[in-house]
A and B are shown apart, each in its own frame.
Chain A
Amino acid sequence: MSLWELANSDCIVVMGSNMAENHPVGFRFVVQAKDRGATIIHVDPRFTRTSALADIYAPIRSGSDIAFLNGIIRYILVNNAWFRDFVLPYTNIATIIDPRFADTSEAEGLFSGWDEETKSYKQDSWQYKGELMPSPLAEHHVPTDMPFVTHAKRMSKQPHPEDRTLQHPNCVYQIMLRHFDRYTPEMVEAATGCPQATFLRVCESLVRNSGRERTGAFCYAVGWTHHSVGVQIIRAASIIQGLLGNVGRRGAGILALRGHCSIQGSTDIPTLYDMLPTYLPQPSVDQPHRTLKDFLAVETVPTGWWHNFPKYMVSLLRAWYGDAATKSNEWGYGYLPKLTGDHSQQTTTLMMADGVVKGLFVLGQNPVVGAVNTTVVQRGMAKLDWMVVRDFAMTETAEFWKAGTLVRSGEMTPSDIGTEVFYLPSAMAAEKDGTLTNTNRLVQWHDKVCEAPGDSRSDLWFMYHLGRRLKEMAAKRNDERDAALRALTWDYPVRGDEAEPDPEAVLREINGYTWPQRIQIGSYQELKDDGSTACGGWLYSGIFPSADHNQSRARIPDAPDGPQTHLGWAFAWPSNRRELYNRASADPDGKPWSERKRLVWWDEAEGKWKGDDVPDFVETKRPDFRPDWSKSPSGMDAISGTEPFIMIPDGKLSLFVPSGLPDGPLPAHYEPVESPVRNPFYAQQDNPGLKRWPHPGNEYHEVGDPRFPHILTTFRLTELHCGGIATRAMPHTAELQPELFVEIPRELAETLDVSTRDWVVLSTLRGEIEARAMVTDRLRPFAVNGHRVFQIGIPWVFGWEGYARGDSANVLLSMSGDPSTSMHTTKAATCNLRKGRTAPAASA
Chain B
Amino acid sequence: MQVHARARDYPQSQFGGVLPHEAELTAGVRIQPGRSYGFFTDTTRCIGCKACEVACKEWNNLPADNVGLTGMSYDNTGALSANTWRHVAFVEKIAGPGGGPAEMPPYQSQWLMMSDLCKHCHNPPCLEACPTGALFKTEFDTVVVQQDICNGCGYCVPACPFGVVELSETDGKAHKCTLCYDRLKGGLEPACAKSCPTDSIQFGEIADLQSRAAERVEQLHGLGVASAYLYGAPGSPGATGDLGHLNAFFLLTDAPEVYNLPRAPTRASNRVRPSLATGLATMAGFALAAIALLGRRA
Query: Footprint of B on A, CB under 8 Å?
Result: 4, 7, 20-21, 24-25, 27-29, 31-32, 35, 37, 47, 49-59, 194-195, 197-198, 444-447, 552-560, 564, 566, 568, 718-719, 731-739, 741, 745-747, 756-757, 772, 774, 776-778, 780-781, 803-804
The answer to whether B3 and A560 touch across the interface, beta carbons within 8 angstroms, is yes
The answer to whether A446 and B13 touch across the interface, beta carbons within 8 angstroms, is yes
The answer to whether A553 and B12 touch across the interface, beta carbons within 8 angstroms, is yes
Distance between Cα atoms of A735 and B83 in the complex (Å): 12
Q: Specify which chain A residues have a CB less than 8 angstroms from the CB of B111 in the assembled complex.
A: 47, 49, 51-52, 778
- Knowing that A49-B74, A52-B47, A757-B71 are A-B contacts, what are 12 other residue pairs whose CB atoms are under 8 Å apart, sorted by A's residue number? A27-B197, A49-B111, A553-B13, A553-B14, A555-B12, A560-B2, A718-B50, A732-B54, A735-B67, A747-B97, A772-B69, A777-B97
The residue in chain A whose Cβ has the minimal distance to the Cβ of B104 is A57
Whole-angstrom distance from the CB of A15 to the nearest CB of chain B?
Answer: 15
Distance between Cα atoms of A446 and B13 in the complex (Å): 7
The answer to whether B49 and A51 touch across the interface, beta carbons within 8 angstroms, is no
Q: Specify which chain B residues have a CB less than 8 angstroms from the CB of A52 in the assembled complex.
A: 47-48, 108, 110-113
The answer to whether B100 and A51 touch across the interface, beta carbons within 8 angstroms, is no
Quick one: given A32-B1, A57-B104, A736-B53, are A25 and B63 in contact (CB under 8 Å)? no
Quick one: given A52-B110, A53-B108, A732-B58, are A24 and B76 in contact (CB under 8 Å)? no
Whole-angstrom distance from the CB of B225 to the nearest CB of chain A?
Answer: 11
Quick one: given A24-B47, A57-B101, A746-B96, are A556 and B64 in contact (CB under 8 Å)? no
B258 at the interface (CB under 8 A from A): no
Distance between Cα atoms of A87 and B77 in the complex (Å): 52
Distance between Cα atoms of A509 and B229 in the complex (Å): 57
The answer to whether B13 and A555 touch across the interface, beta carbons within 8 angstroms, is yes
Whole-angstrom distance from the CB of A221 to the nearest CB of chain B?
Answer: 15
The answer to whether B67 and A738 touch across the interface, beta carbons within 8 angstroms, is yes
B5 at the interface (CB under 8 A from A): yes
Q: Specify which chain A residues have a CB less than 8 angstroms from the CB of B107 in the assembled complex.
A: 53
Distance between Cα atoms of A27 and B45 in the complex (Å): 10
Q: Specify which chain A residues have a CB less than 8 angstroms from the CB of B34 in the assembled complex.
A: none
Which one of A28, A50, A738, A741 contacts B199 once the chains associate, using CB atoms below 8 Å?
A: A28
Distance between Cα atoms of A734 and B77 in the complex (Å): 11
The answer to whether B54 and A777 touch across the interface, beta carbons within 8 angstroms, is no
Task: Flag B87-125 by CB within 8 Å of A: 1 or 0 each.
Answer: 000001011110011111011101111000000000000
Question: Could you write out 16 A-B pairs with CB less than 8 Å apart?
Answer: A7-B1, A20-B49, A28-B197, A52-B112, A54-B104, A55-B106, A57-B101, A194-B102, A195-B102, A555-B10, A735-B64, A738-B67, A738-B68, A747-B97, A778-B111, A780-B97
Q: Specify which chain B residues have a CB less than 8 angstroms from the CB of A37 in the assembled complex.
A: 223
The answer to whether A737 and B92 touch across the interface, beta carbons within 8 angstroms, is no
Whole-angstrom distance from the CB of B76 to the nearest CB of chain A?
Answer: 6
Which one of A29, A54, A741, A746 contacts B69 once the chains associate, using CB atoms below 8 Å?
A: A741
Distance between Cα atoms of A700 and B18 in the complex (Å): 57
Q: Specify which chain A residues have a CB less than 8 angstroms from the CB of B198 in the assembled complex.
A: 24, 27-28, 31
The residue in chain A whose Cβ has the minimal distance to the Cβ of B107 is A53
The residue in chain B whose Cβ has the minimal distance to the Cβ of A777 is B94
Whole-angstrom distance from the CB of A637 to the nearest CB of chain B?
Answer: 38
The residue in chain A whose Cβ has the minimal distance to the Cβ of B10 is A555
Which one of B13, B101, B197, B219 contacts A59 once the chains associate, using CB atoms below 8 Å?
A: B101
B7 at the interface (CB under 8 A from A): yes
The B contact surface, by secondary structure, is loop
The A contact surface, by secondary structure, is mixed
Whole-angstrom distance from the CB of A161 to the nearest CB of chain B?
Answer: 44
Distance between Cα atoms of A446 and B97 in the complex (Å): 49
Whole-angstrom distance from the CB of A745 to the nearest CB of chain B?
Answer: 7
Q: Specify which chain B residues have a CB less than 8 angstroms from the CB of A50 in the assembled complex.
A: 47
Whole-angstrom distance from the CB of A203 to the nearest CB of chain B?
Answer: 14
Q: Specify which chain B residues have a CB less than 8 angstroms from the CB of A556 in the assembled complex.
A: 8, 11
Quick one: given A24-B51, A28-B197, A778-B94, are A734 and B69 in contact (CB under 8 Å)? no
Q: What is the size, in residues, of chain B's interface with A at 8 Å between Cβ atoms? A: 56
Distance between Cα atoms of A772 and B4 in the complex (Å): 47
Q: Specify which chain A residues have a CB less than 8 angstroms from the CB of B275 in the assembled complex.
A: none
Which one of B1, B10, B77 contacts A735 once the chains associate, using CB atoms below 8 Å?
A: B77
Distance between Cα atoms of A58 and B104 in the complex (Å): 10
Q: Specify which chain A residues have a CB less than 8 angstroms from the CB of B113 in the assembled complex.
A: 49, 52
Q: Specify which chain B residues have a CB less than 8 angstroms from the CB of A197 in the assembled complex.
A: 102
Which residues 197-238 of B have a CB within 8 angstroms of A?
A: 197-199, 219, 223
Q: List the 5 closest pairs (A to B, CB-CB), nearest first.
A: A731-B64, A52-B111, A20-B47, A739-B69, A777-B94
Q: Specify which chain B residues have a CB less than 8 angstroms from the CB of A57 in the assembled complex.
A: 101-102, 104, 110
Distance between Cα atoms of A746 and B96 in the complex (Å): 8
Task: Flag B272-288 by CB within 8 Å of A: 1 or 0 each.
Answer: 00000000000000000
B270 at the interface (CB under 8 A from A): no
The residue in chain A whose Cβ has the minimal distance to the Cβ of B84 is A735
The answer to whether B4 and A560 touch across the interface, beta carbons within 8 angstroms, is yes
The answer to whether B3 and A732 touch across the interface, beta carbons within 8 angstroms, is no
Quick one: given A560-B5, A735-B66, A738-B68, are A718 and B49 in contact (CB under 8 Å)? yes
The residue in chain B whose Cβ has the minimal distance to the Cβ of A55 is B106
Q: Specify which chain A residues have a CB less than 8 angstroms from the CB of B110 in the assembled complex.
A: 47, 51-52, 57
Whole-angstrom distance from the CB of B234 to the nearest CB of chain A?
Answer: 25
The answer to whether B11 and A31 touch across the interface, beta carbons within 8 angstroms, is no
The residue in chain B whose Cβ has the minimal distance to the Cβ of A57 is B101
Q: Specify which chain B residues have a CB less than 8 angstroms from the CB of A447 in the assembled complex.
A: 13-14
The answer to whether B69 and A745 touch across the interface, beta carbons within 8 angstroms, is no
B169 at the interface (CB under 8 A from A): no
Task: Flag B34-52 by CB within 8 Å of A: 1 or 0 each.
Answer: 0000000000010111110
The answer to whether B58 and A557 touch across the interface, beta carbons within 8 angstroms, is no
Distance between Cα atoms of A776 and B101 in the complex (Å): 12
Quick one: given A734-B67, A736-B53, A738-B76, are A31 and B45 in contact (CB under 8 Å)? yes
Distance between Cα atoms of A600 and B214 in the complex (Å): 39
Whole-angstrom distance from the CB of A23 to the nearest CB of chain B?
Answer: 9
Distance between Cα atoms of A678 and B111 in the complex (Å): 34
Whole-angstrom distance from the CB of B258 to the nearest CB of chain A?
Answer: 15
The answer to whether A554 and B11 touch across the interface, beta carbons within 8 angstroms, is yes
The answer to whether A558 and B3 touch across the interface, beta carbons within 8 angstroms, is yes
Whole-angstrom distance from the CB of A480 to the nearest CB of chain B?
Answer: 45
Whole-angstrom distance from the CB of A507 to the nearest CB of chain B?
Answer: 13
Distance between Cα atoms of A568 and B14 in the complex (Å): 15
Distance between Cα atoms of A51 and B48 in the complex (Å): 12
The answer to whether A555 and B1 touch across the interface, beta carbons within 8 angstroms, is no
B183 at the interface (CB under 8 A from A): no
Distance between Cα atoms of A637 and B5 in the complex (Å): 44
Q: Specify which chain A residues have a CB less than 8 angstroms from the CB of B108 in the assembled complex.
A: 52-53
B194 at the interface (CB under 8 A from A): no
The answer to whether A559 and B94 touch across the interface, beta carbons within 8 angstroms, is no
Whole-angstrom distance from the CB of A573 to the nearest CB of chain B?
Answer: 18
Distance between Cα atoms of A774 and B3 in the complex (Å): 41
Distance between Cα atoms of A373 and B171 in the complex (Å): 48
Distance between Cα atoms of A32 and B4 in the complex (Å): 16
Whole-angstrom distance from the CB of A514 to the nearest CB of chain B?
Answer: 27
Q: Specify which chain B residues have a CB less than 8 angstroms from the CB of A557 in the assembled complex.
A: 3, 7-8
Whole-angstrom distance from the CB of B200 to the nearest CB of chain A?
Answer: 8
The answer to whether B47 and A27 touch across the interface, beta carbons within 8 angstroms, is yes
Q: Specify which chain A residues have a CB less than 8 angstroms from the CB of B77 in the assembled complex.
A: 735-736
The answer to whether A777 and B67 touch across the interface, beta carbons within 8 angstroms, is no
B148 at the interface (CB under 8 A from A): no
Q: Specify which chain A residues have a CB less than 8 angstroms from the CB of B5 in the assembled complex.
A: 559-560
The answer to whether B49 and A24 touch across the interface, beta carbons within 8 angstroms, is yes
Whole-angstrom distance from the CB of B102 to the nearest CB of chain A?
Answer: 4
Which one of A21, A554, A781 contacts B49 once the chains associate, using CB atoms below 8 Å?
A: A21
Quick one: given A52-B113, A718-B49, are A24 and B102 in contact (CB under 8 Å)? no
Q: Specify which chain B residues have a CB less than 8 angstroms from the CB of A445 in the assembled complex.
A: 13
The answer to whether B101 and A47 touch across the interface, beta carbons within 8 angstroms, is yes
Distance between Cα atoms of A194 and B102 in the complex (Å): 9
Q: Specify which chain B residues have a CB less than 8 angstroms from the CB of A444 in the assembled complex.
A: 13
Distance between Cα atoms of A778 and B223 in the complex (Å): 25
Distance between Cα atoms of A29 and B66 in the complex (Å): 33
Q: Specify which chain B residues have a CB less than 8 angstroms from the CB of A32 in the assembled complex.
A: 1
The residue in chain A whose Cβ has the minimal distance to the Cβ of B58 is A732
Q: Specify which chain B residues have a CB less than 8 angstroms from the CB of A31 in the assembled complex.
A: 45, 47, 198-199
